[in-house]
Amino acid sequence: MTRFQHDILIIGSGAAGLTAALHLAPFARVGVLSKGPLTAANTYYAQGGVAAVLDEGDSVAAHIEDTLIAGAGLCHEDAVRMTVENGPDAIRWLIQQGVGFTTEEQDNGQMEYHLTREGGHSHRRVIHAADATGFAISSTLIEQVRKQPSVALFESRVAVDVITTQKLGLPGNRALGAYVLNNETGHVEVHEARFVLLATGGASKAYLYTSNPDVATGDGIAMAWRAGCRVGNMEFNQFHPTCLYHPQAGNFLITEAMRGEGGHLKLPDGTRFMQRFDERLELAPRDIVARAIDHEIKRLGIDCVYLDISHKPADFIKAHFPTIYERCLEFGIDITKEAIPVVPAAHFTCGGVLTDLNGCTDVEGLYAIGETAFTGLHGANRLASNSLLECMVFAIAASKDIRARFNDPLQPVTIPDWDESQVTDSDEDVVISHNWDELRRFMWDYVGIVRTDKRLQRASHRVLLLQGEIREYYSNYKISNDLIELRNLVQVAELIINCALARKESRGLHYTLDYPDLLPDAKDTMLVPKHYVARVVPPVSG
């Protein structure tokens, strides 16, 4: 059994995980796990940018107000205020690390950072690196973290479970590290740590159509739930309105910034339709735009709608959206001359593991940051480009909290080896691929953009059957990357379904035909695991 000892174990290599690693490196031995290469994270693929108050005409109050409005009454104002107020410092930190955000020449000849505007924002406040902001941030942070002698990087690793005192039959519930599958050797390692940070992203791969890479399988949320953490607001799955619709395109996103720069949504006959749904037209919040597109696709029986920015100058389009221009050209679509076929796709998990403003969860020594966490920032619908900002702000906050607790005395615990003595190699891997496909299809059909209780009950029945199959498979065969991801996705799917069934209203991203109206009191949906141990943790709103 291979063992590693860290002061802090970070599971995930996106913006949240790498930001935390860089802030913790000066005083601790840090281990960072990545499923594949360090670029295997949602951050790497993010296009739009980071929202922050950077312009004199903008204000913290306006950014807070826009976030609260988008969140449909469920945002926690303390989390919103903390994120927005710390936004400019987070951007300055990224610039100090070397992120090359896009600049433009002003009338006075000075070069300033270009700010774009996205749906739900009242001002231009989204700083970006052309249309590949995530690539710029990810590449820069990876370059910086590789320079840190106190940071050990472990690629091709997938965490199996968080190790806790409770799981070992000891008093309390404290994180001790994690069991980790080395995908290169096929063996499970023990990674011991005083503190564990879950920065594994969201769970949009639970859906058939998604903008997310294959790694977004809800691992951190599922592991935290099994460790005894409360999970909340999982019914609020954000569907990005505009993903490229093409059989070879995979999960290629068309950034919201394209609508911010004047792109029009159109039907196949070239007519615009957003004016029938919201006075803000294409710049309405994502839940409204996604439902509008879904409505038109179903009403007309069409495969997709179209996003058209061809009325803008060709040089403007190529300069602002070079990645999209080149990618679409590969499929024979010249966006300077023709519209882009688009459909909605699962994009962001607004709920997650309940944390306080320092990223602390219900399990001592276990933190959750970024999309894995439910901080209260996003409420019932995430405001565009607040997600990368949340990654940086809460990673920094968690790092400060860990530093303050770093020398707290801890009782030593002996962690047992991973036991593979009772399992065999599987000759039925087809079960995994079949269950994976079934899960993603019924989640898309029954727990998608528009829901009903009947659809949710059907999904609940199917997910319970899948859980039984996976439990039997997990108990008898050696684990693999695909099995771990499927196990986590099925767990997260159950959490999404149960949260959706509990909400008897339509609010934000959760829209149900059975309860189309808004209830007068806004309340979070909170799920509590059977093995939850009460601690001094964040209050549950509502």
Annotated catalytic sites, by residue? 286
Spatial separation of the C-alpha atoms in residues 474 and 423, rounded to whole Å? 9
Spatial separation of the C-alpha atoms in residues 207 and 203, rounded to whole Å? 8
Spatial separation of the C-alpha atoms in residues 89 and 10, rounded to whole Å? 23
Kindly calculate the radius of gyration of the chain based on its CA atoms and give it in whole angstroms. Answer: 22
In this structure, the dihedral spanned by the alpha carbons of residues 78, 80, 86 and 92, taken in order and rounded to 10 degrees, is: 170
Determine the 3-state secondary structure of 244 from DSSP: strand
In this structure, are residues 256 and 49 in contact, taking their beta carbons and an 8 Å threshold? no
Spatial separation of the C-alpha atoms in residues 510 and 156, rounded to whole Å? 35
In this structure, are residues 188 and 182 in contact, taking their beta carbons and an 8 Å threshold? yes
Spatial separation of the C-alpha atoms in residues 16 and 389, rounded to whole Å? 9
Spatial separation of the C-alpha atoms in residues 133 and 136, rounded to whole Å? 5
Which amino acid is it at 532? Answer: Y
Determine the 3-state secondary structure of 174 from DSSP: strand
Spatial separation of the C-alpha atoms in residues 431 and 416, rounded to whole Å? 30
Chain position carrying tokens 């379904």: 497
**End-to-end CA gap in the chain:** 46
Cα atoms in the Cβ-side hemisphere of radius 13 Å centred on 299? 10
Among 17, 44, 16, 43, CA closest to 30: 17
Chain position carrying tokens 């696709």: 297
Which are the contacts of 101, defined by CB distance < 8 A and separation ≥ 6? 94, 95, 113, 114, 127, 128, 129, 133, 136
How distant is the alpha carbon of residue 526 from its chain centre?
19
How many CB atoms lie under 10 A from the CB of residue 319? 15
Among 504, 411, 415, 497, CA closest to 458: 497
Spatial separation of the C-alpha atoms in residues 491 and 446, rounded to whole Å? 16
